[in-house]
Amino acid sequence: MIQSGASIPDIITNHSGRYDGNLVPYYKAVFFQAHNVRHPYHNFRHMLHVTWLCYQAALYYSLCGRKLRNLLIAALFHDFDHSGQFGNDDLNIERAVQALRHHVQPEDEQSLADIEALIRTTEYPHTIPGDQLDLSAKILRDADMSQSFSIAWIQQIVFGLAAEWNKSPLEVLKAQRGFHAGLTFQTQWAREYFPPEVIDAKILEAQAHLAILET
């Protein structure tokens, strides 16, 4: 599994100089103004986790400059003001896009359409086939779908999504096998970062929880 020591502050302040400027105004907008930061799943942690993973993929593909800046902004804003409820993800996407338009910095105005397009590829269920996405969009979508591999997966996924979907945590836990078995990553980076043995291990871990809970 590919690892990087870059922290969120490193990425936001552009410590490595991989793109022009920094993302401090965008980070502040998410931290102080996004209404979803305390949601059970579509929260601050999720938005920052996706941003961190996108940066790992950027290192893998040597993305830098404008492409990297656009990708990271889209990752930060992709769930801005998410409702925290099941369904109508097209409306969540529109809220994120409107927030981006409100907070866009002068240096990014010419790239606004490209950043918006990246955000729109995260609408779920996915409306754009994966093979029609460019590399940045594939990275963002793969990062968005990989929260279940984080160390906090049972809190974020099982309890978080259960609360947002109005389901029981047990129902969401039972669905993990089907979700992971059908998981298809679009990028070589994600396939190496989350290889089959990692996916299989997560399925077994979920089943082990179920075995305890159902005895």
pLDDT in tens, 62-83: 999 999 999 999 999 999 999 9
Query: What are φ and ψ of residue 115, in 5° steps?
Result: -70, -40
Asked if the model's pLDDT at residue 5 lies above 90, the reply is no
Mean pLDDT for 129-137 is 95
Report pTM: 0.96
- The answer to whether the CB of 133 falls within 8 A of the CB of 121 is yes
* Encoded tokens for 188: 């070589």
Q: Give the pLDDT score at 2.
A: 47
Average pLDDT in the chain: 96
Query: CA neighbours within 13 Å on the CB side: how many for 91?
Result: 6
Question: Confidence band (pLDDT; 50, 70, 90) for 4?
Answer: low
125 preceded by a cis bond (ω within 30 of 0): yes
Q: Give the pLDDT score at 35.
A: 98
The reply to whether CATH 3.40.50.300 applies to domain 8-213 is no
- The answer to whether the CB of 58 falls within 8 A of the CB of 64 is yes
Asked if the model's pLDDT at residue 84 lies above 90, the reply is yes
Mean pLDDT for 21-35 is 98
Q: Give the pLDDT score at 10.
A: 97
Q: Give the pLDDT score at 24.
A: 98
Query: Judging by beta carbons within 10 Å of its beta carbon (0-12, 13-18, 19+), is residue 99 exposed, middle or buried?
Result: buried
More confident: 144 or 127: 144
Q: Give the pLDDT score at 1.
A: 44
Which of 4-8, 96-100, 113-117, 190-194 has the lowest average pLDDT?
Answer: 4-8
Asked if the model's pLDDT at residue 186 lies above 60, the reply is yes
Q: Give the pLDDT score at 122.
A: 97
Rg, the chain, Cα only = 17
Q: Give the pLDDT score at 162.
A: 98
